[in-house]
Structure 1
Amino acid sequence: MSLAPQTEISSAERESGLRLLVLEAAFSSGTGALTSGVILTAFALHLGASNLWVGVLASAPFITQLLQLPAISVVERLRARKRIAVVTSAIGRAMLLVMAATAFFTGALPLLVFLLAQYVLCGLSAFGSCAWNAWIRDLAPEDRLGNVFARRTTWTAGITLVAGLAAAFILERTTEGSADRSLAFAAMFVVGCVTGLLSATVVSRIPEPAMPPPSGHISLLELLRAPLSDVNFRRLLIFVVSWQVAVNLATPFFTVFIVKQLGFDVSMVMVLSALSQLANLFALRFWGALTDRFSNKSVLLVSAPAYILSIVAMIGASQSSNDIFVIGWLAFLHLLMGASVAGVTLASTNIALKLSPKGAATAYVATNAMAIALAAGLAPIVGGLLADFFAARQLELLLSWSSPAGTLSFPFRLSHWDFYFLLAGVFGLYAVHRLSMVAEEGEIERREMVEQVVGRTLRAIRNGSSVAGLRMITELPPSLLRDAKLRFRLARMRKRRSQRRAALP
């Protein structure tokens, strides 16, 4: 097994490398499913993390993306992308064993070790991904990229879903705060470390084409000057920053909200996360077809407000004491968020590439990535700092209806995390406003886009449902609308005819 680049790669070696590339996704997605997202936050809460600690932990994957900038210089100097990717992956995944060990200790020190290990893991991952992306881009043929990464995405979605449900099953059978739950978290991170090291082993067997000769030194300031002087791209950056603040101010604390404020177990959060992943997977093709047919901005003007409204609607879960209603409401919102964020992710990435001039895409994409990293990294930290402030505040509105039969009261209370969801809505509305100022060729009106989304959804219901009543519901309104239009036109023609006859001498 050699980590050195190859000047020549045979067809057989390339095909073997592409197969290993798909296999690697199965191991790496297993690591991510068992050691990140909801499980990572739940583990931190199990260790006694405060809201600020949760915010700082949630910022790690974003803040560390800034390390890709110095990584570019290192890759250009060493010109050994596979060696960099394998070494950083192996050392980073080893941090998962350190994090697993903290499950058996209490106090502030284990939390600090846990946080530092997560930052080392994310930092090395960001550093290695710079080498990985460039390497794989050179390995996979242009006409095979879509197929290879589609297969990787399928493996990733499947493994993530299965591992997430398995984690929920395990956590459901352990008591919160117990030694059994400590053992469960430790076991997940140990298994995540093993699958991560297997991923690094597979990566080491993928051939690396030798890099072309260096084209000369380019300073960071020169790299960023062109994107920042582009007025239209600056407008896109303002949208990106405000959007990331809106999303990451609230979403990292969903687990805290559901577990601490609503009183559900972590396993419930895992099931909701699985629902969101399913909706995301099924919606990707739907949004992809719309972006190809219309424009990325048109998709964003529909999917972004839908996602923001879903975040604000989380407030509804704290207004009811009926667990069945709350669970159903949370499930509905997670399905909607999973579907809408698929459109946001796809379209926001595409629009950044589309607005990048040919020959200068690297600088524009790098600038966009830096803006995302800074905004998404700082937002949860600010959220954690403000958590205690909002925890001591409550806003209550009381609507009452009085009649001879009595008085009905409808209390509406905002407390703690509810304020975050409301703030996210404010920032989200501002982000959508900034998006409207971005110019993209081929964009259409939001109303037309909504009609297309609704039309496709209704067709999917008609095609996929065997319930006759449901088919009638979807078919009746358009038929009534067509009849109404015909009647209106007929009445207008008769009126004009009578007016012309009256005007005749």
Structure 2
Amino acid sequence: MNIYPKKDFNIKDVRASLKPLSIAGVMAKLMDTFCAGTFLIAYALELKASYFEIGILTSLVHFGNLFQIPMAYLIEKYHYRKLLLALSHVVARAGLFATSMLIFFSTKSWVVEALIIIYAIRYFSGRAGAIAWNSMIKDLIPNKIMGSYFANRMKYQISAGIIASLIGAYFIDFWKKSYPENAIYAYSFIIFVGGIFAVINTLIFMKVPEPPMKSSKETEGMSFFVKFQAPFKDKNFIKITKFLCSWNFANNLAIPFFSAFLLKEMDIDLFTISCLNILSQMTNVILLNIWGKIADKYCYKSVLFTTTPLLIFSVFLFIFVDFSQFKPVLTPFLCFIHLLIGMAQAGITLSTTNIALKNAHSQLASTYLSANSIMVSFSSALASIIGGSLIDFLSSHKSFEIKFFGNVFHMTNASSWDLLFVISILFCFISLYFLKKVSEKGETSIKNVLQEFIFIFKNKVKNNIIFRIKYKVASLSPFEYEEIVFIDPINEQKTIKKKRKLKSFKSRKKSS
């Protein structure tokens, strides 16, 4: 296990790194599923946290990106990305085990503040390490396979997250029914298990060789502060950052509170909420490869212009969730909303994750990405705090009035969430204005993207049906074929070997 850059790094190391990176990604997803999102919010609610405190808790992951500035400085100075990442992981992983121990202090008045402090340390350390990871991946994964590789990697991650969400939610609901007075212990156990997956993630990633940092005459001899100014002089990168800032602000006003809204206001159990999230994630998995291929053929901007309106429409539909007319069909209605969210998030998550990575200067990747992350994170964190504060304020007033251009609107406690969703939608439309100004090679119209999407989707379904027919026909034959297919991920060369042999008696009996 070498924690220093490999001087003789070559194409064989790239091939050898792809599988461990995917496995490490799955472990990271299991950690995030158990230690963040719905389970963390439910744990905080069990500890009697307010919406404002939940807003702070969800904002910490974004504020943590501010620590990427000193990390970027250390990377540029020492070029030891893997070592710095390992050190940040040690601190971040320790915070998860400390969080699981808070159940022994659940009656204390300071327990929620302790949870926030522990997660602040965890996110500040973990997000600082993220810039080392991004910079290393930029040099490790070739651009021509980046979209399809990360689409496949995210597919495995989401699949693991689906299974983990289902198991975790079932375990918590079962524990609550069996031991209603000690329900909080179930959340503690889930977070502890997430910590174990986090440790496994670090151990696997440490086996991935680190490529040496790229340098050129253009950047050689430049001070860190001069390098850090470079992203702010890149007009197109600034446009990308403006879009990501506005988009993340709009989303973090409302989306982090969806689970809290369904748990507390709609009184829906955790297992049902997890099933809804699983439906969204399954849709995400099915469509990720398609969006990855479209992004490789065209660009991430075109994918974003196609998928963002779908997510905006999904947030709009959330306004009608608490309408009494929808009570009889609430579950199917929520399923439909989460289906749309999954379809949209498949393209949005892939594109927003990689658009900055793709357009960053190759010799200044760490400074470009840290500058982008800091600005985006600040807007996201601010949105989470504003969203939580707004919900607490509106919930504390049974009714109030809003004056708008001489018109008076009477608002009730129930409609306070609707107001939050409407504000989020308005900011989403503003972000699309900034996206329009971004320039990226391979831009095309929404019509072309949709045509390509339908074409790939049809072929995917068609090939699946043909495969099943061929398999059925082959099962009637007295012979069986052993086929080995190898696809080189770098040059995309395909090698197929077939070997025919007579079926055994047991195989014939099964096929008949």
> Do the two structures share a fold, i.e. TM-score over 0.5?
yes
SS of match in other structure, 1:174: helix
Contact 1:395 1:414 in 2 (8 A): no
Aligned twin of 1:124: 125
**Matches for 1:149-298 after TM superposition, within 5 Å:** 149=150, 152-175=153-176, 178-209=180-211, 215-220=220-225, 222-298=226-302
Q: Give the residue type in structure 2 aligned to 1:452.
A: Q
Aligned twin of 1:341: 345
SS of match in other structure, 2:52: helix
Deviations 1:220-262 (A, max 9, x none): 3x34544434555444433322211110000010011101111
Contact 1:22 1:148 in 2 (8 A): no
**Matches for 1:318-467 after TM superposition, within 5 Å:** 318-320=322-324, 323-352=327-356, 364-391=368-395, 392=397, 415-440=415-440, 442-446=442-446, 448-449=447-448, 452=451, 456=455, 459=458
Distance 2:238 2:15 in 1: 41
Aligned twin of 1:92: 92
Deviations 1:345-402 (A, max 9, x none): 3334554456657766665444332221111111001111212222225589xxxxxx
Deviations 1:115-139 (A, max 9, x none): 1111111111112223333345555
Deviations 1:379-428 (A, max 9, x none): 001111212222225589xxxxxxxxxxxxxx999522221111111111
Q: Which moved more, 1:448-457 or 1:59-68?
A: 448-457
Contact 1:305 1:432 in 2 (8 A): no
Distance 1:452 1:17, change over 3 A: closer
Q: Which moved more, 1:32-41 or 1:315-324?
A: 315-324
Distance 1:198 1:343, change over 3 A: closer
Contact 2:290 2:456 in 1 (8 A): no
Distance 2:363 2:377 in 1: 24
Q: Which moved more, 1:451-460 or 1:306-315?
A: 451-460
Shift in Å, 1:45: 1.0
Q: Give the residue type in structure 2 aligned to 1:157.
A: I
Contact 1:298 1:449 in 2 (8 A): no
Distance 2:152 2:111 in 1: 39
Shift in Å, 1:24: 2.5
Contact 1:249 1:379 in 2 (8 A): yes
Distance 1:19 1:348, change over 3 A: closer
SS of match in other structure, 2:110: helix
Distance 2:357 2:135 in 1: 16
Deviations 1:424-455 (A, max 9, x none): 11111222233334445554444x35863785
Distance 1:185 1:421, change over 3 A: same
Distance 1:119 1:245 in 2: 20
Establish whether residue 62 from structure 1 lines up as the match of residue 81 from structure 2: no
Distance 1:123 1:147 in 2: 30
Distance 1:289 1:21 in 2: 20
Distance 2:58 2:431 in 1: 21
Shift in Å, 1:269: 1.7
Aligned twin of 1:472: none
Shift in Å, 1:173: 1.6
Contact 2:263 2:269 in 1 (8 A): yes
Contact 1:65 1:123 in 2 (8 A): yes
Q: Which moved more, 1:334-343 or 1:356-365?
A: 356-365
Output the TM-score relative to the length of structure 2: 0.76
Shift in Å, 1:57: 0.7
RMSD over equivalenced CA pairs, Å: 3.6
Q: Give the residue type in structure 1 aligned to 2:436.
A: S
SS of match in other structure, 1:108: coil
Contact 2:399 2:412 in 1 (8 A): no
Distance 1:166 1:181 in 2: 16
Distance 1:122 1:419 in 2: 30
Distance 1:144 1:463 in 2: 25
Distance 1:458 1:74 in 2: 45
Contact 2:30 2:164 in 1 (8 A): yes
Runs of 5+ unmatched residues, structure 2 = 402-410, 466-512
Contact 2:59 2:385 in 1 (8 A): yes
Q: Give the residue type in structure 1 aligned to 2:195.
A: C
Establish whether residue 106 from structure 1 lines up as the match of residue 107 from structure 2: yes
Q: Which moved more, 1:258-267 or 1:26-35?
A: 26-35
Distance 1:174 1:457, change over 3 A: farther
Q: Give the residue type in structure 1 aligned to 2:349.
A: T
Distance 1:339 1:237 in 2: 24
Distance 1:131 1:180, change over 3 A: same
Contact 2:151 2:289 in 1 (8 A): no
Distance 1:340 1:346 in 2: 10
Shift in Å, 1:19: 4.4
Distance 1:304 1:279 in 2: 16
Distance 1:454 1:195 in 2: 35
What percentage of aligned pairs have identical amino acids? 28
Distance 1:12 1:357 in 2: 25
Distance 1:132 1:237, change over 3 A: closer
Q: Give the residue type in structure 2 aligned to 1:164.
A: S
Shift in Å, 1:187: 0.9
Contact 1:55 1:384 in 2 (8 A): yes
Q: Give the residue type in structure 2 aligned to 1:332.
A: F
**Matches for 1:6-155 after TM superposition, within 5 Å:** 6-8=6-8, 18-104=18-104, 105-138=106-139, 149=150, 152-155=153-156
Distance 2:18 2:351 in 1: 27
Distance 1:257 1:117, change over 3 A: same
Distance 1:201 1:419, change over 3 A: same
Distance 2:15 2:134 in 1: 18
Distance 1:145 1:464, change over 3 A: closer
Q: Give the residue type in structure 2 aligned to 1:279.
A: T
Output the TM-score relative to the length of structure 1: 0.77
